[in-house]
Structure 1
Amino acid sequence: MTSFVPPQSATLGTGTVAAISVSGLTVSYNEVRALTDVDLKLARARICGLIGVNGSGKSTLFKCLMGLVQPQSGTVEIFGKDQRAARRNNLVAYVPQSEDVDWTFPLSVGDVVLMGRYGRMPPSRRASRADRDAVDAALERVGLTQQRHRQIGELSGGQKKRAFVARSIAQDAQLLLLDEPFAGVDRTSEATLISLLQELRDEGRTALISTHDLAGIPELCDEAVLLHNRVLAHGLPSEVLTHEMLALAFGPLPADGGASRPRPASRES
């Protein structure tokens, strides 16, 4: 395991609260250990790529950050708050893998994006002018204004991912957790998502993105985390995406650093 010295732009100053602060996180499913003693700190306004083979614990880490899985030990803080408080304050949003969504459910694209505003609405879920304006602005940013009234399942794979990112934008979440956002996505949607995520980073938001696309990480991400049930490496992409580091998680790689390796088709736990 390598020691990690954060890049200068990511170093937390005195009194600065990290976007993500995980310490000693351990999670098991019955007899299967998914995460072991994970420590991770991510500064605000960063894009971090989360790399690992299927079953390495990436999805489990996301679920812990969202408070959907109870760890056996360890602590998780989102902007200095526990997961429940972070969700209650609309600080964190989750963009799931496609197979985690029921695409037959009768919701329009606009309905899906409006769900990002639910935490700001009264119990009646009656949308205000501010809610509708937020949905309009989010749809415009992801290029789906013309798709607003279509059933969500009718969209292409890339459009679906963009719709869920729009939901996060409408929510005004400061931390976005994206689980394989580029899987099954066309090049146009991939380019749109990359540009949009970098714009959101420049506006001060933070993103943690799991991906098998090793070749795309240097273009998109400020830093990267190599996970294999524990954190093996964390640093600049150039420090993490080395043959030596990647071999710890993926086994021996081809000379291109794994860019030509096909993406695994199965889901991780």
Structure 2
Amino acid sequence: MPTDHVPPGDDPEDGAPILDVRGVSVTYDDVQALDDVSVSLRAGSICGLIGVNGSGKSTLFKALMGLVAPQQGTVELFGRTTAAARRAGLVAYMPQAEEVDWTFPVSVSDVVGMGVYGRLGAARRLRPADRAAVGEALERVGLTDLGRRQIGRLSGGQRKRVFIARSIAQDARLLLLDEPFAGVDQASERTMTALLRDLREEGRSVLVSTHDLAGVPEFCDEAVLLHRRVLAHGHPAAVLTQGNLARAFGAAPSDDDPRPLHPAATGES
């Protein structure tokens, strides 16, 4: 059972998963969104979450954040309940763009500053060290000059980078990114992928949903293929096979074709 009583500075034992989902099922009314999903993620890795629209990707993210309650199964983050991990600032979440009210009157710096709220008192007043953390995060995502701009006045790629900056200011160890590359230009996508690789090198972990199947082998250390259930989980070359993808995307192959979808999945040029 996960616990709420792990001291904030303690991480799981070496080799233990930082994300551990076991037998999770979620139903909305009579619609089965997740069915007996089990998946784990270890520190310092980028994992691509792949599936068609309606496959349960966003529901999985929400279950990880405690925004929906599974009817069965357990979720642990860093050996704790989702609530405890969130209170400790260990996990950060970027929802899909349509779930955010971009008209809300807050600036870019305000949004990034929300990442440090867990370290503040009831007055929610940023201290000099907190302002420095916000400034450093904005610099890392290349948005220093836009700190005073209202969040809705940014481009799609800039908005996504603001959420990454918030997670950096928060010093989150796990980033949950729901379709961060949707609706962004190639330059912004390159900037974000390079930044996420840097965060991985710092020991952070990323679970990212994406439709860019060809880019997964180059960007991700592992992949999860989801269609309400986990169809495959492992190295991208083992997950992104013709047979697996046919099952995930609706076609029924005559056999389990092991060929990868894209040459990059095997490291070929």
The reply to whether TM is greater than 0.5 is yes
Q: 1:172-191 to 2 correspondence within 5 Å?
A: 172-191=171-190
Per-residue CA distance 1:177-230 (angstroms, 9 max, x = gap): 000000011111101100000000010000000011101111110000000001
**TM-score if structure 2 supplies the norm length?**
0.88
Cα distance in 2, alignment partners of residues 71 and 252 from structure 1: 29
Q: CA RMSD in A?
A: 1.8
Residue 75 of structure 1 pairs with residue 74 of structure 2: yes
Output the amino acid matched with 1:22.
V
1:7-49 per-residue CA deviation (whole Å, 9 max, x = no partner) reads xxxxxx9753311001010110111111011110111111000
The gaps in structure 1 that reach 5 residues or longer are 1-12, 260-269
Q: What is the CA–CA distance in structure 1 between the aligned matches of 2:44 and 2:260, rounded to whole Å?
A: 30
CA distance in 1, matches of 2:141, 2:206: 16
Letter in 2 for 1:257: L
How far the C-alpha of 1:251 sits from its partner, in A, is: 3.0
Give the 5 Å matches for 1:99-110: 99-110=98-109
Could you tell me the percent identity over the aligned residues? Answer: 64
CA displacement at 1:71 relative to structure 2: 0.5
Structure 1, residues 48-73: CA drift from partner, whole Å, max 9, x if none? 00000011000000000001100001
Higher relative contact order (CA 8 A, sep 6+): 1
Q: Distance in 2 between matches of 1:31 and 1:180?
A: 26
**Residue 16 of structure 1: aligned partner:** 15
Q: Any stretches of 5+ residues in structure 2 without a counterpart?
A: 1-11, 253-258, 264-269
Match of 2:261 in 1: 257
With structure 1 as the length reference, what TM-score do the two structures score? 0.88
Segments of 4+ moved more than 3 angstroms: 13-16, 255-259
Structure-1 separation of matches of 2:132 and 2:13? 37
Q: How many residues align?
A: 246
Deviations along 1:136-178, whole A, 9 cap, x unmatched?
1100000000111111111000000000110011010000000
**Alignment match, 2:5:** none
Report the counterpart of residue 38 of structure 2 in structure 1. 39
The Cα of 1:252 is off from its aligned counterpart by 4.2
